[in-house]
Amino acid sequence: MTILELSDVCYTYDKGTPMAHEALVNINLKIEKGLMTGIIGHTGCGKSTMLRMFNGLLKPDSGKILLDGKDIWENPKEISKVRFRVGLVMQYPEYQLFDETVRSDIAYGPRNMGLDEDEIARRVEEAASFAGVSRDMLDRSPFELSGGQKRRVAIAGIMAMKPEVLVLDEPAAGLDPKGREDIFTGLDRYRRESGASVIIVSHSMEDMARYCDRLVVMNDGEIYLEGTQREVFGDAEKLMQIGLGVPEVTKLISLLREGGMPIPQEIYTVDDAKAVLISMLGGGRK
């Protein structure tokens, strides 16, 4: 089922001036409900513009954005309601923390929704747990926390609004491997347990392969490739043409095939490679 749909969406910055720049060119895209969708592409390819379309921060020059089948711009006065339903976590969101305690910072969104205090408290606790913010952090100042912890607080602040679609622009940028994994596993758990759809932008093909159900590759304001992992990573050549690639382990599998090993090419994670190789090499003792 489709939760979010972009239909013939176009957007040009500084339209009508000599600086005009076509950021989105006739975008048609369907985001499936309850899945994790990954968006990949170089700086300037239109990703961030598209993310701002999802929750109505930008209005398309032409075309429609449908949330659960309804045009979000049908009644522009109601657009703020869309922003509660589609939560956007921007890049380096930790710079947006402002409140005295972690608890009140996370509560900011739900409070603006006009919820009662009991419900707000419940949501703060729940969101903190999903994002990996421990209870003892809740009454501390967000400014005492480490970069990775602040990042998680900022994500919890959006989760607390219980958006149907959670959109994150490079949520793991600048974090160490353990920090990256904590963010992604938290998002995965949030998606499974809340039933929300999650959309993430990342430059790491390895992370995309591990966590995303569907992938969208953008280039020069257009959808370049889109589909399941197999549909996208299956076209390594097309990805390489725009300076992107497939996960390391998938390249390794290609080398094994070139070396004459009858191994399927559709392997994108170390876990999958391990399972197939164990069956072919006859291990499995431990």
Binding site for another protein (CB under 8 A): 41-44, 146-148, 173-179, 203, 206, 243-245, 247-249, 251-252, 255-256, 259-261, 270-271, 273-274, 277-278, 280-286
Q: Closest approach of Cβ 204 to another protein, in Å?
A: 9
- What secondary structure letter does DSSP report for 115? -
The single-letter code of the amino acid at 134 is S
**Min dist. Cβ of residue 7 to another protein (A):** 28
CB burial of residue 87 (10 Å; 0-12, 13-18, 19+): buried
Residue (72 or 155) nearer to another protein, CB:
155
- Nearest approach in angstroms of CB 275 to another protein is 10
| Smallest distance, another protein to C-beta of residue 134, A | 16
- How remote is the C-alpha of 24 from its chain's centroid? 19
Nearer to another protein, 16 or 281 (CB): 281
| Separation between Cα atoms, residue 204 and residue 233, nearest integer Å | 13
Q: Which residues pair with 39 in a beta bridge?
A: 201, 216
Tell me which amino acid residue 253 is.
Answer: I
Q: How far is the first Cα of the chain from the last one, in angstroms, to the nearest whole number?
A: 41
Output the smallest distance, CB 42 to another protein, in A.
Answer: 5
Give every CB contact of residue 91 below 8 A, 6+ residues apart in sequence: 48, 169, 170, 173
